[in-house]
């Protein structure tokens, strides 16, 4: 391990001078700066991040907190896509990414304790159970923080545009001729509330009547749950002609039940998902869905978090909504006469 002192000795200067040269400080002559930098390169000097952050209180490490109900972890397609983009952006600003967990060494700790122990400069929170006391503790702390798809009053938040998403989906289905639209929504979170409100508002505006039985809950990413909810909808006296699922992934369950009951998509029933994950585009027929712009979501989250860290005075906590895009796949089409005759 070659330290700053080795470089100093090699140049006949003090360690302080080396530090200044490396960090681009002004009170040093151009000649010595070059001499020092050359020596550092020759000796293979690398700054020790532990020593540096012990002094400066800055680690250039960003914590990532992600815990979903289904324990998908990194295999969650929507999240891993957001995270990948977050990571790329963070790295371009000189930050590294580390995962937050509930350990300090072999002892268990809260998320906040873990963050303090590791001295992360900031934290991004996504997809967690936002009612978890440990998550709340973290959001009440003074660590710079960005939440994804959730708003904590005065905290920075980056959100997918769920209101527009549901409006566009419903409007599109309505345009195809559907008047009996069911909505299987995820468990009650901020995201779900927005989607649900937008669903109702859009239906009302379009004059679509939504029977209570057309609304069902099934956890996000829960294939079995979505299958069950779909089965319930299809066995109603007047089943819907179109179903909107909680997300593309759980749609697998819903579509499975439809096929199993001998119905075909979209001639017998139309379906739509949410998220626009890759999977949705390769299903047969491809999913009509609302694409969430995960790339932008992750990038903006990183940018904003770094703003909070580097310009705390002038950065105000915003709630940034990232637009998505309607993807019209063949899973939705005009309802046939048999399907619609019992209604309207």
Partner DNA sequence: TTGGATTACGAAAACGATTAAGTAAGCCAA
Partner DNA sequence: TTGGCTTACTTAATCGTTTTCGTAATCCAA
Residues at the interface with DNA (CB under 7 A): 1, 3-5, 12-17, 19-20, 22-23, 27-29, 31-32, 45-48, 51-52, 54-56
Is 73 an interacting residue with respect to a second copy (CB under 8 A)? Answer: yes
Which two tokens mark 59? 């680690």
Select 101 or 267, whichever has its Cβ closest to a second copy: 101
Select 121 or 293, whichever has its Cβ closest to DNA: 121
| Contact with a second copy (CB under 8 A) among 17, 19, 61, 218 | 61
Is 75 an interacting residue with respect to a second copy (CB under 8 A)? Answer: yes
Q: Which of DNA, a second copy, none does 187 bind, CB closer than 5 to 8 A by kind?
A: none
- The sign one gets for the Cα dihedral 150, 156, 161, 166 is positive
Is 60 an interacting residue with respect to a second copy (CB under 8 A)? Answer: yes
Which two tokens mark 101? 């967990």
- The residue whose two tokens read 């983009």 is 85
Rg (CA), the chain: 26
277 vs 11: CA distance, rounded Å? 56
Select 13 or 160, whichever has its Cβ closest to DNA: 13
DSSP secondary structure string, 101-156? -SEETTEE--HHHHHHHHT-SEEEEESS-TT-HHHHHHHHSSS-EEEES---TTSE
Query: CB of 45: closest distance to DNA in angstroms?
Result: 6
Select 116 or 200, whichever has its Cβ closest to a second copy: 116
Contact stretch for a second copy (CB under 8 A) within 27-35, 40-48, 189-197, 198-206? 40-48
Question: E-strand spans in 176-268?
Answer: 181-185, 215-217, 242-244
Which strand (E) or helix (H) includes residue 158? strand 156-160
Which two tokens mark 209? 């009547």
Select 88 or 317, whichever has its Cβ closest to a second copy: 88
SS3 40: helix
Of 143, 90, 66, nearest to 112 by C-alpha is 143
Q: Which of DNA, a second copy, none does 83 bind, CB closer than 5 to 8 A by kind?
A: a second copy
97 vs 56: CA distance, rounded Å? 19
Q: What share of the chain is helix, strand, coil (3-state, %, to 5)?
A: 45, 15, 40
Which two tokens mark 2? 């070659």
Per rule CB under 8 A, count of chain residues that contact a second copy: 47
| Contact with a second copy (CB under 8 A) among 33, 35, 70, 87 | 87
197 vs 203: CA distance, rounded Å? 10
Q: Which of DNA, a second copy, none does 60 bind, CB closer than 5 to 8 A by kind?
A: a second copy
Is 54 an interacting residue with respect to a second copy (CB under 8 A)? Answer: yes
Q: Which of DNA, a second copy, none does 3 bind, CB closer than 5 to 8 A by kind?
A: DNA
| Contact with a second copy (CB under 8 A) among 14, 101, 238, 264 | 101
Contact stretch for a second copy (CB under 8 A) within 13-21, 31-39, 89-97, 184-192? 89-97
Of 327, 222, 219, nearest to 273 by C-alpha is 327
Select 51 or 236, whichever has its Cβ closest to a second copy: 51
Select 13 or 327, whichever has its Cβ closest to DNA: 13
Select 48 or 238, whichever has its Cβ closest to DNA: 48
Residue ranges binding a second copy (CB under 8 A): 46-51, 53-54, 59-61, 73-75, 77, 80-81, 83-84, 87-88, 91-94, 96-99, 101, 103-106, 109, 113, 116-119, 252, 256, 259, 279, 282-284
């Amino acid at each position: 391990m070659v330290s700053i002192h080795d470089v100093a000795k090699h140049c006949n200067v003090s360690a302080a001078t080396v530090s200044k040269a490396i960090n681009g400080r002004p009170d040093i002559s151009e000649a010595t700066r070059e001499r020092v930098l050359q020596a550092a390169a020759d000796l293979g000097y690398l700054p020790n991040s532990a020593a540096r952050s012990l002094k400066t209180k800055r680690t250039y490490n960003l914590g990532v907190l992600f815990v979903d109900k289904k324990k998908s972890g990194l295999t969650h397609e929507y999240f891993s896509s957001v995270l990948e983009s977050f990571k790329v952006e963070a790295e371009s600003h000189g930050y590294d990414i580390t995962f937050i967990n509930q350990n300090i060494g072999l002892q268990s700790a809260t998320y906040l304790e873990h963050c303090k122990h590791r001295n992360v400069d900031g934290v991004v929170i996504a997809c967690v159970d936002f009612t978890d006391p440990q998550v709340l503790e973290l959001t009440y702390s003074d660590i710079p923080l960005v939440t994804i798809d959730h708003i904590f009053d005065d905290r920075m938040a980056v959100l997918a545009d769920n209101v527009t998403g549901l409006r566009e989906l419903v409007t599109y289905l309505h345009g195809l001729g559907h008047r009996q639209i069911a909505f299987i929504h995820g468990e009650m979170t901020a995201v779900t509330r927005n989607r649900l409100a937008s669903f109702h508002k859009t239906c009302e505006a379009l004059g679509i009547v939504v029977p209570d039985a057309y609304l069902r809950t099934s956890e996000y990413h829960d294939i079995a749950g979505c299958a069950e909810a779909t089965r319930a909808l299809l066995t109603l006296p007047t089943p819907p002609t179109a179903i909107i699922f909680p997300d593309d992934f759980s749609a697998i369950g819903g579509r499975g039940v439809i096929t199993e009951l001998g119905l075909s998509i979209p001639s017998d029933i139309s379906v739509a998902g949410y998220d626009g994950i890759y999977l949705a585009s390769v299903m047969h027929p491809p999913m009509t869905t609302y694409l969430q712009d995960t790339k932008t979501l992750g990038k903006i989250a990183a940018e904003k978090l770094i703003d909070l860290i580097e310009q705390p005075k002038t950065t105000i906590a915003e709630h940034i909504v990232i637009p998505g895009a309607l993807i019209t796949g063949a899973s939705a089409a005009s309802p046939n006469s048999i399907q619609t005759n019992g209604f309207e």
